[in-house]
Amino acid sequence: MTMELKLYDTLSREKRVFRPLDPANVRMYVCGPTVYDFAHIGNARPVIVFDLLYRLLRHLYGADHVTYVRNITDVDDKINARAAEQGISIRELTESTYANFKADVAALGCLPPTVEPRATDHIEEMKTLIGRLVASGHAYVAEDHVLFSVPSMPDYGRLSKRPLDEMIAGARVDVAPYKRDPMDFVLWKPSKAGEPGWPSPCGIATPGRPGWHIECSAMSWKHLGETFDIHGGGIDLVFPHHENEIAQSRCAFHTPVMANFWMHNGFLQVEGEKMSKSLGNFVTIREVLNDWPGDVVRLAMLATQYRQPINWTVKGLQEAEKALSGFFDVTAGEADAKPAPGVLDALRDDLNTPKALAEMHALKNNAGRKALAGSLGFFGFREAEFKAWQYQHAPALAVEPADIESRIAARNAARAAKNWAESDRIRDELAAMGIKLTDSKDGTTWEVAR
């Protein structure tokens, strides 16, 4: 059993041993949702993956020694447009959308992060960073915008390692006339009449609002410091979002790194296709939770290692339900146990969840029961909720429970008389009605077969 935690770091392109800057306060920042509508099932992936990492870090360093920050982007063009459409303030829109998001991720069994900062509560920190960047020659004011000067940072682009022309295409940069270089990106922009705005920094007279990237530099700084341990998000955020966060933070603080580990989850596709409203395969977390319990969604998500792409299918959900059902069948009543060492070892290897789940399947014998129960608890699976869902969704019984009990009694009598043909006949008859019997030294129990 190894004691080390190894994580794949996108910046160095290798799996490295994780050593926190301060083991008494392990610090992780994950880019959170832009809250203008219900989150989709792809958005659930980073939430579940980094929840598992949070649980692992708490296990390894102590629950009070991990700070997990997941921000809320509550100002952005889509939010402004949606709020204007509905005739409400952006705060009203984002409050209700965020309440929905919180309910969704709680149903998925995710722990609340230590801090969930809102961008609009950190405008002052953003302006401080912007002021510093301008003062040190890394940013400039042009036509009421403040822009980050990409050529001012010699090693810009290390995270995404893309050739410059590809980056320009990827960023879909509009080559605005006020930009000194096409790669330069917005730190602050003017707000039009009717749009939300705040007093601008750097002597700009018109009110304005922050660019998206500066929000995360400001919030991670405020809650985790200039340099921290882990920065996470989906793979789509590598460029430009994370590349630009690194540029802002490192240039504002004159630090060699922003975070020591950059972790990115792979993308989720639905039934083999990119999820999109036009293809009609766009699913919200809420819609999935209407049909499935949170734990099944959670297991279906973790059945694939987090860096791999995941194909979200009904079949995958059905398999997850079966697996959970099998786990809980053997662990009933085994609360408060510790996770199995083999399961933890797999997770310590860059969150190898497929291996961890295989280890858990191997524990489904009598001797492994306690360790399996402990592992299920560690993963955040909730037996009572899952069983309640199964009970509600069980197919209608073709036979009354009292009738089942009397048939079981008749079968027991047949068995006592060593009349195996009769006892088998009764068992097969019940099976035909969808009732599965399990014999143990404590007697016979029945359940609806699945």
Q: Closer to ligand AMP at the Cβ: 200 or 304?
A: 304
Q: Closer to ligand AMP at the Cβ: 294 or 377?
A: 294
For residue 423, the partner it binds in Zn ion, ligand AMP, none, with Cβ less than 5 to 8 A by kind, is: none
Decide if 66 contacts 57 (C-beta within 8 A): yes
**Cα-based distances in Å from 66 to 9, 18, 55, 58, 59:** 19, 14, 9, 6, 10
Q: Closer to ligand AMP at the Cβ: 90 or 139?
A: 90
Q: Which helix (H) or strand (E) holds 224?
A: helix 212-224
Minimal distance, residue 324 CB to ligand AMP, in Å: 22
Residue 283 falls in which region: left (phi positive, over 0), alpha (psi -120 to 50) or beta: beta
For residue 159, the partner it binds in Zn ion, ligand AMP, none, with Cβ less than 5 to 8 A by kind, is: none
Q: Closer to ligand AMP at the Cβ: 107 or 426?
A: 107
Q: Closer to Zn ion at the Cβ: 156 or 379?
A: 156
Give the binding range for Zn ion (CB under 5 A) out of 42-50, 94-102, 142-150, 215-223.
215-223
Size of the site for Zn ion (CB under 5 A): 2
**Cα–chain-centroid distance for residue 432?**
42
For residue 229, which phi and psi values (nearest 5 degrees)?
-85, -55
Place of tokens 């792979």: 266
Quote the CA–CA distance of 168 and 228 in Å, as a whole number. Answer: 29
Quote the CA–CA distance of 11 and 23 in Å, as a whole number. Answer: 22
Angle between helices 41-61 and 90-107 in degrees, nearest 10: 60
Amino acid symbol at 248: Q
Contact with Zn ion (CB under 5 A) among 48, 69, 108, 216: 216
- Contact between 263 and Zn ion by CB under 5 A: the answer reads no
Q: Closer to ligand AMP at the Cβ: 201 or 240?
A: 240
Q: Closer to ligand AMP at the Cβ: 62 or 309?
A: 309
Minimal distance, residue 200 CB to ligand AMP, in Å: 25
Minimal distance, residue 47 CB to ligand AMP, in Å: 8
Residue-by-residue DSSP string for 390-426: HHHHSPPPSS-HHHHHHHHHHHHHHHHTT-HHHHHHH
Q: Closer to ligand AMP at the Cβ: 268 or 320?
A: 268
Contacts for 95-99: CB closer than 8 Å, 24+ residues apart: 97/35, 97/36, 97/37, 97/38, 98/33, 98/35, 98/72, 98/74
Give the binding range for Zn ion (CB under 5 A) out of 105-113, 212-220, 247-255, 392-400.
212-220
Quote the CA–CA distance of 314 and 208 in Å, as a whole number. Answer: 45
Minimal distance, residue 237 CB to ligand AMP, in Å: 5
- Tell me which residue has its CB nearest to ligand AMP: 234
- Enter the DSSP assignment of 70: E
Minimal distance, residue 330 CB to ligand AMP, in Å: 32
For residue 250, the partner it binds in Zn ion, ligand AMP, none, with Cβ less than 5 to 8 A by kind, is: none
Binding region for ligand AMP (CB under 6 A): 31, 33-34, 42-43, 45-46, 233-234, 236-237, 265, 267-268, 275
Decide if 254 contacts 137 (C-beta within 8 A): no
For residue 216, the partner it binds in ligand AMP, Zn ion, none, with Cβ less than 5 to 8 A by kind, is: Zn ion
Quote the CA–CA distance of 41 and 296 in Å, as a whole number. Answer: 13
Site for Zn ion in 6-65 (CB under 5 A): 31
Minimal distance, residue 265 CB to ligand AMP, in Å: 6
Minimal distance, residue 64 CB to ligand AMP, in Å: 26
For residue 414, the partner it binds in Zn ion, ligand AMP, none, with Cβ less than 5 to 8 A by kind, is: none
Minimal distance, residue 69 CB to Zn ion, in Å: 10
* Peptide bond before residue 190 is cis, with ω within 30 degrees of 0: no
* The two structure tokens encoding residue 127: 């302006």
Minimal distance, residue 450 CB to ligand AMP, in Å: 29
For residue 275, the partner it binds in Zn ion, ligand AMP, none, with Cβ less than 5 to 8 A by kind, is: ligand AMP
Residues in contact with Zn ion by CB under 5 A are 31, 216
